[in-house]
Amino acid sequence: MIPKLMQSITLPVARAQASRRQFLLGALAAGTGIAVGYRVLSASPALAGEAETESGSHAFSPYLTIGGDGKVTVLSSQFEMGQGSYNGIATLVAEELDADWSTIDVIGAAGNIKAYGNIAFGGAMQGTGGSTSMSTSWERYRKAGAAARAMLIAAAAAEWGVDATEIAVENGVLSHPSGKSGGFGVFAAKAATMPVPAEVKLKEPGDWKLIGNAELKRFDSARKANGTEQYTIDVKLPGMLTAVMIHPPLFGAKAKSFDASAARAIKGVVDVVETPRGIAVVGEHMWAAIKGREAVTVEWDETGAEKRGTPELMSTYRDLSGKTPAAFARKDGDADAAFTSAAKVIEATFEFPYLAHAALEPLNAVARRNDDGTIEIWGGHQLPDVYQNLASEIAGVPVEKVRLNVMKTGGSFGRRAVFDGDVVVEAVHVAKALGFRAPVKVQWTREDDTRAGRYRPAYVHRLKAGIDEAGKLVAWSDHIVGQSIMAKTAWDGMVQNGVDPTSVEGANNLPYAIENQTVGLTTTDVSVPVLWWRSVGSTHTAFAAEAFLDEVAEAAGRDPLEFRLSMLEPASRHATVLKLAAEKAEWQKPLPEGRFRGVAVAESFGSVVAQVAEVSVDGDGIKVERVVAAVDCGLAINPDQVRAQVEGGIGFGLSAILGEEITLTDGKVDQGNFDMYTPLRIDAMPKVEVHIVASANPPSGIGEPGVPPIGPAVANAAFKALGKRIRVMPFAKSLNA
């Protein structure tokens, strides 16, 4: 959800290492476990990742611990929101460690950029996004597993008085031909005192048992099926209070005054406090806070607030799309001349609304000041360094006095990776306003979550294509109009020459051989807060390009699949997934009466996905019956989780185009709950088949790349079914037009 090109980012932050080290040691000392990873990595900078080389200090880089009971706990730099990163990272560690998979657990870690900095972001910050969790972890966590394995062997060798090379490790047990054997737990303590290998040799792919194993099950499914998985909403601390926020009704409005006297009289309401982000109603429990909130009256200062509604904004965007772009993200050949000389020119405008992430766990965070003065925060810390620094500023404590507990979250889809900390900041503000007298959980309701902003930006695309006499696509232009996600944030430096890469990704890297093409961008200035939303720019760019390409194919009188393949290198990844999806969907075979199909392909986050969608007519609209996907994501560490992410990505993308839209009336968000903002339900979910291209390339993204192709594939099928082009989202707007 965060772009790959983050090397240029320097956050204005100090770095905290010491406190985290002490915290983790404390946590480990409290149990029976031995921090193998601590010793391994503190003494072995080479294992700490690329960021290590810049510092002479020993990194504290705990990637795993092994308990006296043999339990292996992986400390994950990557945050888990359902996408399976914990499972993937555990697979890497367990593979090289030869651990018993049933003893693996994973917890989130933060506070040590040297160890946990995301290599795909340049290593200078920890974060989960851009579908980079596997690529950043691929070397790092395998090495951590291999180093710990070597130390366990050294410990056993010393204990048994045998040569280390004679010791075998399998399934969490060390053994020697003499018949001696023992589990990891037996040697964990001694292993922690062993010298750290300067270098480790990783397994050859042929020796892998877990990596690439399609039968391997997620380590965390059972606890999610019996209700014991713990999320931020489940955090309960002694004396903890629960707060709900009253956010401004318009983006940019501020509280002028408020009257909480009636609220304070409600049983269970503890306090009502003001924060820079709104009024907080604090209760003994959630229900008291909710009831208290209903009784508070607030007078708002709406000077400078955003008061435009969706009709005004989209009208402006449409106008702008017909003008010269403010900036260009791609210019190949001479598009103007090619349009002039083309035999046929077609044009179309596509419109995309704001979208909410609508993760099922509404945003929340818990903050507490401990007796030692540290501030401790529980939450879905998708950008931990950012939150640690924001909390430090608010609480007025050094950054190393802020401890983060990274919780698993009920979805995120990008929503918990925010520049300003959002709910994390609110929790610290509220705790502070209460004089830190009690731990406090700030819990948003569904309406808060829907209305408080941070949407996938609304966009208009104007596309134009020129075809020559032979039906060849000779000129292409795409003018994108909409807000920038990164401008005016800590990521502002990523905006180069007026182009926010997240606005144009998926549009300025089309794989097709089109000699003359331009991708233009006009960034709008609107105060509606926006953010990356699962697959970011490709949520709209891939739709516009791939749906319009079908219009071009039709104008050229060509089959959509053949047309695409004619502009791709036959051995390219795009052509490979297109051909695989087409073959599995039997593209050449006529469909039964009443069934129609469409195809699309898109590259995002280093992976390429093609999808063939089959639809039927259902009343005035369509029903998506079946989707066949083919994916090249490099090496598939957990093939079944790759399938799961593509299945879910298809559902998520379909959800958006069929039924999701945030609209504003005079600046106010119209939707609140799931009666108005309507994600996909099971009755609209197609049957899905996912085919994975065998690849030895390093793993690339998979959490997001399943999303982009589904919209255009369905739109292209819908045209066959209904004879109408789908150009305005959500779908119904096109059908009723």
Q: Which residues bind another protein (CB under 8 A)?
A: 81-84, 217-218, 220-231, 233-234, 236, 242, 267-268, 285-287, 291, 358-362, 408-411, 413, 443, 445-446, 640-641, 644, 647-652, 654-655, 673-675, 679-683, 685, 687-688
SS (H, E, C) 593-653: CCEEEEEEEEEECCEEEEEEEEEEEECCEEEEEEEEEEEECCCCCCHHHHHHHHHHHHHHH
Cβ at position 81, least distance to another protein in Å? 6
Q: How far is the CB of 292 from another protein (least distance, A)?
A: 12
Give the nearer residue to another protein in terms of CB position, either 100 or 515: 100
Q: Among candidates 501, 493, 369, 365, which has minimal Cα distance to 441?
A: 365
Q: How far is the CB of 149 from another protein (least distance, A)?
A: 27
Q: Closer to another protein at the Cβ: 566 or 616?
A: 616
| Neighbouring C-beta atoms of residue 164, cutoff 10 Å | 14
Query: How far apart are alpha carbons 156 and 190 in whole angstroms?
Result: 8
Rank residues 58 and 446 by Cβ distance to another protein and give the closer one: 446
* Chain centroid offset of residue 118 CA: 14
**66, 185 Cβ separation under 8 angstroms:** yes
Cα separation, 575 vs 564, in Å, equals: 8
What tokens were used for 414?
Answer: 């990008």
Residue with tokens 């490709």: 538
Beta carbon nearer to another protein, 80 or 603:
80
Least separation in angstroms between CB 592 and another protein? 17
Buried b (16+ CB within 10 A) or exposed e, 672-709: eeeeebbbbeeeeebebbbbbbebeeebbbbbbbbbbb
Q: Which is nearer to another protein, 96 or 660 (CB)?
A: 660
Which one, of 406, 405, 416, lies nearest residue 360 by Cα? 416
Q: How many CB atoms lie within 10 A of CB 140?
A: 23
Comparing CB distances to another protein, the nearer of 282 and 391 is 282
Pairing of strands 402-406, 440-443: unpaired
**Cis check: omega of the bond before 730, within 30 degrees of 0:** yes
Contacts of 26 (CB under 8 A, 6+ apart): none
For another protein, give the closer residue by CB, 235 or 507. Answer: 235
Residue 344 or 687: the one with the smaller Cβ distance to another protein is 687
- Are the C-beta atoms of 596 and 721 separated by less than 8 Å? yes
- Residue 685 is given by DSSP the state P
CB of 320 to another protein, least distance (A): 33
Pick between residue 140 and residue 456 the one whose CB is nearest to another protein: 456
Q: What is the DSSP letter of 488?
A: T
Q: How far is the CB of 290 from another protein (least distance, A)?
A: 8
Nearer to another protein, 267 or 589 (CB): 267
CB of 37 vs another protein, minimal distance in Å: 26
CB of 678 to another protein, least distance (A): 9
State in angstroms the smallest separation of the CB of 326 from another protein. Answer: 35
Closest approach of Cβ 383 to another protein, in Å? 18
Pick 82 or 123: Cβ nearer another protein: 82
The least distance separating another protein from the CB of residue 450, rounded to whole angstroms, comes to 10
SS (H, E, C) 316-357: HHHHHHCCCCCEEEEEECCHHHHHHHCCEEEEEEEEECEECC
Question: CB of residue 269 vs another protein: minimum separation in angstroms?
Answer: 12
450/675 Cα distance (integer angstroms): 12
Please say which residue, 65 or 445, places its beta carbon nearer to another protein. Answer: 445
Q: Rounded distance, CA 99 to CA 187, Å?
A: 13
CA gap 474, 507 in Å, rounded: 17
